[in-house]
Copies of this chain bind each other. A is one copy, B any other.
Amino acid sequence: SEEIFLGNYLLTRLEQLGVKSMFGVPGDFNLGFLDLVEDHPTIDWIGNCNELNASYAADGYARVKEQSLGVLLTTFGVGELSAINGIAGAFSEMVPVLHIAGVPSTTQQKSKPMLHHTLGDGRYDAYLKAAAQFTISQADLTNAASAASEIDRVLVDCIVHARPTYLTLPTDLVYTKISSERLKIPLSHLPPPNDADEEEFVISEIEKLVNEADNDVVVLVDACAIRHDARKELREMIEKTQFPVYSAPMGKSVVAETYERYGGIYVGSISHPEIKEKVESAKLILSIGSLKSDFNSGNFTYSIPTMRTVELHSSWTKVKYAEFPGIGMKQLLPKLTQRLHAYNALARQIEVPKFVANVPQEEDDVISHNWFWPRMSGFFKPKDIIVAETGTSSFGILDVPLPNDAVFLAQILWGSIGWTVGSTLGAALAGRELGLGRTILFIGDGSLQLTVQEFTSMLKKDLKPIIFVLNNSGYTIERYLHGKTRHYNDIVNWKWTSLLSVLGDEDGTKSKSYTVKNKAELSELLDNSSFANADVMQLVEVIMPMHDAPRALQVQAELSGKTNKYVA
C-alpha cells in the first residue's frame, strides 16, 4: 500500500473523524507539521492568540461536534504547558480533545541538548509526565514503525472515553514515510459491547422496579448522557416511555426543554420547591449519566435514597445498591426503552410542571438577574448554541428553558473562568460546520478579562456570535461567597464596547457593540430583528448592579458558606 508522511497519516485520521478545524499556536517545533495542515484541503488552521484559549476552543468545538473531537496543536514546553488547564478541564468535564505537542526530533530527544523551551536540566519527559495527570492516554512517538498504531490508540481512547489524550510529534517524524494501510479501516467510536446475559438481567431488574413503583418513575438526566453520546438513545427512551424528565444543570438541553414531559432543573435543595418535591417523592428515579459534583447537585443535597434509584452510566449500571460494571448505557438504553415502552399509558398520567420562565414585573428599571434571565428566554431560537460562563451567568441560565435543538455549554464542574471565550469560538465554528443557529455567550466582566483576546479569532474567521457581557463591577459570584466589599473582588472597568474594533474589526464592518443600562434598552435591542439576526459579531454590555445574583447562586452561596467557612 501507499506510503505517506506520518504527519499526513494523522491528518487523514482526523479528517475521517470529522475534524474540520484545528486549534493552537505555531512554534518552531510544530511548523513543519503546520505546513501539512495549511495545505490540507478540509482541515482549517484556526491559529489562536494563545494556547490556553486554543485549548478552550478545542473543548468547545468537541462539545458541539458530536461524534468528532477537538484538536489542539502546541509547541514543546511553553505552548503545551500554557494549555494544560484547558486540557484538565476537558478531562474533568469529559470532552474528547487530542492535544498534539510538536517536540524536538527523535535524535534530540535522545541526546537532550539544552534547547530553548527546556527546563535546562535535561528532563525531556517532564511535560509528558504533567500531561499524564490530565489525559487518559499518551503516545510519545519515537519511531515510525509504531507511530500509526500509537496515533490510532490515542484517537480511539479519546473518542470512546470522551477524555483528552496526548500525542508528541517530533519534528523529524512528521516527514517520515509510513504505510497508509491502516487508514482503510476507520476508527470506531463504539464502547465495548455489554455482556448480553448480564444486560438482560439488569433490564429485568429495572423493569421489576418500574412495576413496583406503579409507574411513579422520574427520569433525571445529567452530564454523561451528553458526553457519552447517548443523546439519541435517551430521547427515544423518554418519548417512548413518557416518564417525566428533569435535568441536572450539566444535563441541561439534552432533552428539549420545551418537551411537554420535561419539568426543569433538579439540583438538590437549590431546586424550585415544586421540582424538588416532584423528583424526590417519585417512587423510582432513573438517573441517566449522573455526575454529582457540588454545583451540579446543590452542594450534595440530593434527597433521593439509593433504594429508589437506578443509575445508568457510560460504562456501568447501578440498581439500588447493586453495581454492574461493564454495562454501559448507550447499548442498554434502546433495549430498556423497548421493554418499558409498554408502561407509557400509565406514565403519561403523572403530571409534570411546565418549565417556563415568567418575566416578572419589577418597579424599577435596573436590569436585575431576576428579570434578565426570563427575558432572555424569549430571545432564543431553536438550534442556538448558548454558552454560559461560570459566575452569575452559569447560575442564571439554569432557570431559563432553552428552545428545541438548542445546544448548551457550561463548565459546571471544572469552572475555569475565561473558558467560554475560547469555547464560544470553537462552538461557533462547529455550529457553522453543522448548520446550527446563532452562538450566544453570557459572560461576566471579570471572566472576560482572562481570555478576551480570542475575540480576534472570531473576527478573523468571520464568526458572528452575540456576546452579552454582564458588567457588574467585578467578581460578583465571589462577593456572594466571601468578601462582599473586598477590593480583591473589584476589577478595572474596560471600554467593553470598543473591544471588537480594537481587537480585529479595524474598519468597523465586522461587528457592532452596544451598552444597555436598563430594561427598556435591553428589550428594545432584543426585539430589533437586525440585532437578532446576527449578521455581524455583536457585543452587548449589560449594566447590572454589583450586588445582585440569580436565585440559584444565592442559595448555593449560602450552602457553600456553611461547608466552607473561614474562621476569622
Binding site for B on A (CB under 8 A): 25-28, 31-32, 34-35, 37-38, 45, 47, 49-50, 52, 77-78, 81-82, 84-85, 88-89, 91-94, 104-105, 113-120, 123, 126-127, 129-130, 133-134, 171-172, 174-175, 291-295, 300, 412-418, 449-453, 456-457, 459-460, 475, 478, 481-483, 486-495, 498-499, 501-504, 506, 560, 564, 566-568
Q: List the 3 closest A-B pairs by CB distance, nearest first.
A: A32-B566, A81-B85, A78-B416
Q: Are A566 and B171 in contact (CB under 8 A)?
A: yes
Q: Are A415 and B487 in contact (CB under 8 A)?
A: no
Bound Cα distance A47, B175 (Å): 46
Q: Are B493 and A506 in contact (CB under 8 A)?
A: yes
Q: Are B52 and A82 in contact (CB under 8 A)?
A: yes
* 11 CB < 8 A contacts A-B: A25-B450, A27-B478, A28-B560, A31-B481, A32-B566, A77-B416, A81-B88, A115-B294, A116-B293, A116-B415, A118-B413
**Chain B residues within 8 Å of A49, by CB:** 449-450
**Chain B residues within 8 Å of A292, by CB:** 114
Q: Are B459 and A492 in contact (CB under 8 A)?
A: yes
Q: Are B119 and A50 in contact (CB under 8 A)?
A: no
Q: Are B566 and A175 in contact (CB under 8 A)?
A: yes
Q: Are A495 and B501 in contact (CB under 8 A)?
A: yes
Q: Are B495 and A506 in contact (CB under 8 A)?
A: yes
Q: Are A171 and B38 in contact (CB under 8 A)?
A: no
**Chain B residues within 8 Å of A118, by CB:** 92, 293, 413
**Chain B residues within 8 Å of A414, by CB:** 77-78, 116-117
Rounded to whole Å, the gap between the CB of A422 and the closest CB of chain B is 12
Q: Are B504 and A502 in contact (CB under 8 A)?
A: no
Q: Are A483 and B35 in contact (CB under 8 A)?
A: yes
Q: Other than A26-B475, A120-B293, give 16 A-B pairs with Cβ distance below 8 A.
A: A31-B483, A32-B482, A45-B487, A49-B449, A52-B82, A78-B88, A78-B414, A82-B85, A113-B300, A114-B413, A115-B294, A117-B416, A118-B293, A175-B567, A175-B568, A494-B503
Count of identical protomers in the assembly: 2
Q: Are B92 and A119 in contact (CB under 8 A)?
A: yes
Q: Are B92 and A566 in contact (CB under 8 A)?
A: no
**Chain B residues within 8 Å of A114, by CB:** 291-294, 413
Q: Are A492 and B568 in contact (CB under 8 A)?
A: no
Q: Are A91 and B116 in contact (CB under 8 A)?
A: no
**Chain B residues within 8 Å of A413, by CB:** 114, 116, 118, 120
Bound Cα distance A498, B495 (Å): 10
Q: Are A488 and B92 in contact (CB under 8 A)?
A: no
Q: Are A453 and B449 in contact (CB under 8 A)?
A: yes
Which of these, B294, B449, B456, contacts A449 with CB under 8 Å? B456
Rounded to whole Å, the gap between the CB of A452 and the closest CB of chain B is 6
**Chain B residues within 8 Å of A475, by CB:** 26
Residue on B nearest A46 in the bound complex, by CB: B488
Q: Are B82 and A416 in contact (CB under 8 A)?
A: yes
**Chain B residues within 8 Å of A418, by CB:** 50
**Chain B residues within 8 Å of A564, by CB:** 28, 104-105, 171
Rounded to whole Å, the gap between the CB of A91 and the closest CB of chain B is 6
**Chain B residues within 8 Å of A450, by CB:** 25, 49-50, 453
Bound Cα distance A126, B133 (Å): 6
Residue on B nearest A568 in the bound complex, by CB: B175
Rounded to whole Å, the gap between the CB of A101 and the closest CB of chain B is 13
Bound Cα distance A504, B452 (Å): 14
Residue on B nearest A34 in the bound complex, by CB: B488
Bound Cα distance A412, B294 (Å): 44
Bound Cα distance A478, B94 (Å): 35
**Chain B residues within 8 Å of A489, by CB:** 26
Q: Are A35 and B174 in contact (CB under 8 A)?
A: no
Residue on B nearest A454 in the bound complex, by CB: B449
Most B CB atoms within 10 A — which of A32, A104, A459? A32
**Chain B residues within 8 Å of A503, by CB:** 492, 494
Bound Cα distance A275, B120 (Å): 26
Rounded to whole Å, the gap between the CB of A425 and the closest CB of chain B is 13
Which of these, B25, B77, B117, B568, contacts A32 with CB under 8 Å? B568
**Chain B residues within 8 Å of A293, by CB:** 114-116, 118, 120
**Chain B residues within 8 Å of A291, by CB:** 114, 120
Known contacts A116-B414, A293-B114, A450-B453; A26 and B85 CB within 8 A of each other: no
Rounded to whole Å, the gap between the CB of A338 and the closest CB of chain B is 32
Bound Cα distance A120, B224 (Å): 12
Q: Are A449 and B566 in contact (CB under 8 A)?
A: no
Bound Cα distance A475, B77 (Å): 18
Residue on B nearest A24 in the bound complex, by CB: B488
Rounded to whole Å, the gap between the CB of A467 and the closest CB of chain B is 15
Q: Are A31 and B88 in contact (CB under 8 A)?
A: no
Q: Are A494 and B502 in contact (CB under 8 A)?
A: yes
Rounded to whole Å, the gap between the CB of A499 and the closest CB of chain B is 6
**Chain B residues within 8 Å of A78, by CB:** 85, 88-89, 414-417
Which of these, B113, B119, B456, B482, contacts A88 with CB under 8 Å? B119
Which of these, B35, B133, B488, B502, contacts A499 with CB under 8 Å? B502
